[in-house]
Amino acid sequence: MTAPPSSLDLGPMVGVLRPIGLDELVERASLLTRLDRKYMLPVSELPLFISGLGGDVQVLEMGGERDFGYRSVYFDTPDLDGYLRTARRRRRRYKLRVRTYLDSGDHYFEVKTSGPRGTTVKQRIPYDGDLWRLSPEARAYADDVLAGAGIDSGGFRFVPTLVTSYRRTTLFLSANDSRVTVDTGLTWTLPDGTGLRTPERAIVETKSGRAGSEADRLLWSLKHRPVPISKYGTGLAALRPGLPAHRWLPVLRRHFPNLPTDPTALHGSAA
């Protein structure tokens, strides 16, 4: 599958930045346990944000490319235990997904759980199984990681529930060894093909320790505040309007002005 199209070419904005390779980025800012802050921006505001970050910013570059296609297949129980734990703000939350790096074809199975004091812990292993059915190795890994987070998943059955795809540019802020990701061209698709595209919005995510990075401070000065957006949770809330979704409805109504007011009208073809 080819990478999803982006509604905005970030090339001119990041082309002047110094590159950083993946190995160095992982060494200096892997941040698998981190505090994530997510912001919704109109794509028209990305040039102002990126140019305002200053001269200590580097951009991830691999194979001469500086933005990359991602696809994630999320797994949950048929009754959406993982989704509901987050929607209802349960202390023990989790997400399971098979993430594909579309440019390289690499696949990873990832388990995200809640850490102390609002942090997110991500653990992952390489994955070479069926993208639509968890391999026995992935299932065993999920059960082990979830058990370590206090979640007994032995009786759970996991099925694919949502697919997301987007383009990502990753920035490294050397002042405090933090990362910023900029995702554009986001598409949400249910297993039955029902989908939703959001070409006019970008998700900017800062990944740092508890103290905000210079990227956070810049966004605050531009009148942007963190919002409770989850690619998984928000996507399901949009595409399955019968679900409990109070946590994400304000984000959908404010930042996706082309969505109908009536959530029952959100269904449509992804094509």
pLDDT in tens, 57-86: 999 999 999 999 999 999 999 999 999 999
Is residue 248 a contact partner of residue 241, using CB atoms and an 8 Å limit? no
pLDDT averaged over every residue in the chain: 86
Mean pLDDT of 133-156: 96
Per-residue pLDDT, averaged over 198-216, amounts to 84
Does the pLDDT value for residue 22 go beyond 50? Answer: yes
pLDDT band per the 50, 70, 90 thresholds, residue 187: very high
Pairs from 91-97 (Cβ < 8 Å, separation ≥ 24): 92/149, 92/150, 92/151, 94/146, 94/149, 94/151, 95/232, 96/134, 96/142, 96/158, 97/72, 97/73, 97/232
- Judge if pTM exceeds 0.75: yes
Query: What pLDDT, on the 0 to 100 scale, is given for residue 233?
Result: 94
Q: Average pLDDT for residues 211-221, to the nearest whole number?
A: 87
Q: Give the pLDDT of residue 61.
A: 94
Take residue 154 and report the two structure tokens written for it.
Answer: 């032995």
Query: Is the pLDDT assigned to residue 270 strictly greater than 50?
Result: no
